[in-house]
Amino acid sequence: MEDLATKTTCRGVNGQSKTDESPPAAHSVDSCCGSWLKGIKLWVPVDYKNEIVQFLKLAGPVFISQLMSFLIGFVSMAFCGHLGKTELAGVALAIAVINVTGISIGFGLASACDTLISQTYGSGNLKRVGVILQRGVLVLLLACFPCWAVLINTQPILLAVRQSPEVARLSQLYVKIFMPALPAAFMYQLQGRYLQNQGIMWPQVISGAIGNVLNAIINYIFLNLLNLGVAGSAAANAISQYSLAVFLFVYICSRGLHKATWGGWSGDCLQEWGPFLKLAIPSMLMHCLEWWLYEIAGFLAGIISEVELGAQSIVYELTAVVYMFPMGFSVIASVRVGNALGAGNTEQAKLSSKVSLISCLGVSRDVIGYIFTIERDIIQRVADVMKLYCFVHVAETYAGVIQGIVRGAGKQKIGAMCNLVGFYLIGLPIGVSLMFPVKMGIVGMWAGFLISVLIQSVFFTLFLCKLNWKKATEEVSNSTGDILCHSRSTTNLVNTVTLQNYANCAKSAMWTACGINIVACYYVSFKYEKTLT
């Protein structure tokens, strides 16, 4: 009688016959699974798999570097928390003011490089990347002036919004000491954009790790050993910001990462500020409109009660860390799309935009589970908000990555308008209505956030579906071509020595202005503090 096992003969590795005696059911299952897996492999193009690998390789370092930057202020608050409640509140408010009126401005303005550098680098016009960097340096240093004008009035602003006089005084002290470090923070962001848009990611991770270790050591020495209090924490933060910028600059120069794109200071950096600002200001608004809304939520929570304020502070810190993950995909999406459009590769730009969305949603699904499994150890109020934030995070991740694609395509104006309408004309009114009249507290505010990011996600998705990628590629090609032709004509019409003299003057004026304003900030702050006392 024939055996029930089906015998299948096939050729072995060495040419010998090989018998497979697996049961018919197992054989059929294996064949079905094999055909199913082959079908999936055929369904997923090879280009998608390669692009996903590139995204994951690049997004990881960006996530770590952004997290390192965030931890500088977080460590300061952790050390000041041991000084007392008043000191912790003062430092928390000071860092919030610095973020709103300083760091967010520089971060947003530097984001113009996500479009300009990525597209220029993709087009192969490498020396032009250095000119864009020089222009960014001048713009961001000039942006320090209005930021300083607001920061120097921190105490009256906090008193106007009914904060404690002692807390306002400590916040002013912290901000006053930190103010000279604002140019360093701006330059660190700009150097990071310069490297990221060339596909160089790890130097920021290394400098961030060194800066955080140095920050912790200086905080320990100033607060625990020298008992300098809030002033010591502010000084540690300022020193850390300079250490980040200086170390990254030294690393770039020592490794020669600038040689391909840096041709020395050029008079061209004094031209074409209009196109730069047309991208820089909408880029700033895209970031700041969302960033500021979270800070506004903190002030509104403080009106209700200290419990609501404390819960909102905890949620804000957690969400800031969580948001670093989609931010990594957002930056890489901007880089990949910008490089592809600059190279005139429309299909690659479309592929990068699709893969960025698939990657962020697929990976963030597991990240959310790991982050929110510790809710039992958090107070009930925070736990309620975190349950809602799970949905906010998914929508925020999706919208954030699409914003990176929008920046890479150079459509920042549309992104800024969408953020303005979504957050301030829809999300904030709904959140305030649920927060106060309905008496849902901060849960109501986060419900408003959820509605706004959902609307953003729908709008940006429709925008990408309607975007004419070929036209976007032609626009980038025309702009980079016009810039190159304009640069050549300028070189022929204007004496090169004169341009170099202008560049040297700009360089000298830049450093002189920095020195004068650092001294002026200290002097005015000192005089202002004396008048208050």
Q: What one-letter code names the amino acid at 149?
A: A
pLDDT interval class at 502 (50, 70, 90): very low
- Percent of the chain at pLDDT > 70 equals 67
Compute CA distances 244 → 91, 184, 197, 249, whole Å: 21, 8, 19, 9
- Alpha-carbon distance 188 to 66, whole Å? 11
Q: What predicted TM-score, i.e. pTM, was given to this entire model?
A: 0.70
**Which tokens belong to 58?**
């690049």
Residue 366 has pLDDT above 80, yes or no: no
3-state secondary structure 207-267: HHHHHHHHHHHHHHHHHHHCCCHHHHHHHHHHHHHHHHHHHHHHHHHHHCCCCCCCCCCCH
Burial class (CB in 10 A: 0-12, 13-18, 19+), 24: exposed
- Top mean pLDDT of 20-29, 75-84, 113-122, 247-256 is at 247-256
Residue type, 480: T
Q: What is the pLDDT of residue 93?
A: 82
Q: What is the pLDDT of residue 357?
A: 61
- What average pLDDT does the chain have? 73
Beta-carbon contacts of residue 522 (< 8 Å; ≥ 6 apart): 176, 180
State whether residue 164 is helix, strand or coil: coil
Question: Residue 308, exposed/middle/buried by CB under 10 A (0-12, 13-18, 19+)?
Answer: buried
Look up residue 376 and give its DSSP letter.
G
Q: What pLDDT is stored for residue 46 in this prediction?
A: 55
Here the tokens at position 185 are: 């923070």
Closest CA to 59 of 402, 493, 507, 363: 363
Inter-CA distances, 391 with 216, 387, 397, 415, 446, Å? 34, 8, 10, 22, 10
Residue 220 pLDDT > 60, yes or no?
A: yes
Residue 10 in this model has a pLDDT that exceeds 60: no
Angstrom CA distances, 366 to 100, 124, 317, 382, stand at: 31, 38, 20, 21
Q: Yes or no: say if 427 and 448 are a contact pair by the CB < 8 Å rule.
A: yes
pLDDT of residue 383: 67
Residue 446 has pLDDT above 50, yes or no: yes
pLDDT digits (tens, 9 = 90+) for 293-334: 887 887 777 667 656 766 777 777 777 777 776 676 667 676
- CA–CA gap between residue 309 and residue 445 (Å, rounded): 12
In this model, does residue 440 exceed pLDDT 60?
Answer: yes
Confidence check: pLDDT of 22 > 50: no
Q: What share of the chain is helix, strand, coil (3-state, %, to 5)?
A: 85, 0, 15
388 and 443 Cβ atoms separated by less than 8 Å: yes
pLDDT tens track for 68-99: 887 887 787 778 777 777 787 788 788 888 98
Dist. CA 354–CA 68, nearest whole Å? 28
CB 293 within 8 A of CB 424: yes
Task: Inform me whether the pLDDT recorded for 336 exceeds 50.
Answer: yes
Question: Which structure tokens are listed for 159?
Answer: 């008193």
Residue 170, burial from CB neighbour count under 10 angstroms (0-12, 13-18, 19+): buried
- How large is the greatest C-alpha to C-alpha distance in the chain, in angstroms? 108
Tokens standing for residue 26: 């197992």
* Burial group, residue 311, by CB count within 10 angstroms (0-12, 13-18, 19+): buried
Q: What percent of the chain has pLDDT over 90?
A: 14
Identify the residue with better confidence: 521 or 267. 267
Per-residue pLDDT band for 168 (boundaries 50, 70, 90) equals confident
As a whole number, mean pLDDT of residues 254-271 equals 87
pLDDT confidence of residue 134: 92
pLDDT band at residue 144 under the 50/70/90 scheme: very high
